[in-house]
Amino acid sequence: MRLAINGISGKMGAYLYNYLKERSDWTVVCGLSRQNLSLPIPIYKDIKSCLEREQFDTLIDFSQYPACVEVVKQAIINNINVVSGTTGYKKYDEKLIKYLAMKHNVGVVISPNFSLLSQELADLIYQMKKHFPYCEIIETHGIHKKDKPSGTAKYFANLMNLDYAFIHSVRLPGYIADHELIFADEYQSLIITHRINNRQAFISGIEKAIIDVTNLKKVEILI
């Protein structure tokens, strides 16, 4: 499998690159960054020159919205599968990306949180909302996170038709991604906390998405 990473200079992109370069069966052939990085693979400043010069099966994107949208679109129309974890996609992006993925027969998985436990939590939230009329979400991330509220918190809120006003954002040093959901009725409450202690938590979900876009041409956009 030949891969490219958009956002390779970032916290998540760099973690993923260092992890994937140890896998003998997959190769990261190049990366994208606006910076002059010294890495042993070619780094491109824009997706068009990257696509002109390199051959790869799947683009992995952990960058910044809305810059990611053009990169993802260019990959799809050049028949490259996409796995994107960047947060902030809007409903209209979902519509266009799904249309392009179908048209070009490529797999696209976009998810605000690739940790397997957060995916389990999404199923649980759906059940909990049936029993508890009230829910508020507290999301805590590192101080450099640009979007607020987090994509994961918005995704959880969307599952419950919960207004984003019930999401509370905290930015503190030392955090990666915490999501606390407080469910309550008049007589009781239930608090569920999902805490990411290490970016390794995202890896198996990303690997699964890479396999799914390659083998199944899966198209799934969670926002």
Nearest residue (beta carbon) to ligand NAP? 10
**Site residues (vs ligand NAP, CB under 6 A):** 7, 9-13, 33-35, 62-64, 67, 85-87, 111-114, 144, 151, 202
- The nearest distance, CB 78 to ligand NAP, in angstroms, is 19
Half-sphere exposure of 193 (CA within 13 A, CB side): 7
- The nearest distance, CB 13 to ligand NAP, in angstroms, is 5
Q: Encode 119-135: b = buried (16+ Cβ within 10 Å), e = exposed.
A: eebbeebeebbeebeeb
- The nearest distance, CB 19 to ligand NAP, in angstroms, is 13
Residue with smaller CB distance to ligand NAP, 109 or 183:
109
Residue with smaller CB distance to ligand NAP, 43 or 76:
43
- The nearest distance, CB 221 to ligand NAP, in angstroms, is 12
Cis peptide bond prior to 66, omega within 30° of 0: yes
- Residues counted in the chain: 223
- The nearest distance, CB 26 to ligand NAP, in angstroms, is 18
Residue with smaller CB distance to ligand NAP, 133 or 142:
142
Residue with smaller CB distance to ligand NAP, 11 or 129:
11
Q: Which one, of 172, 173, 154, 67, lies nearest residue 112 by Cα?
A: 154
Residue with smaller CB distance to ligand NAP, 7 or 107:
7
Token pair, residue 33, equals 């960054």
Q: DSSP string of 5-47?
A: EETTTSHHHHHHHHHHTT-SS-EEEEEE-SS----SS-EESSH
Query: Which secondary-structure segment (H or E) carries 50?
Result: helix 47-53
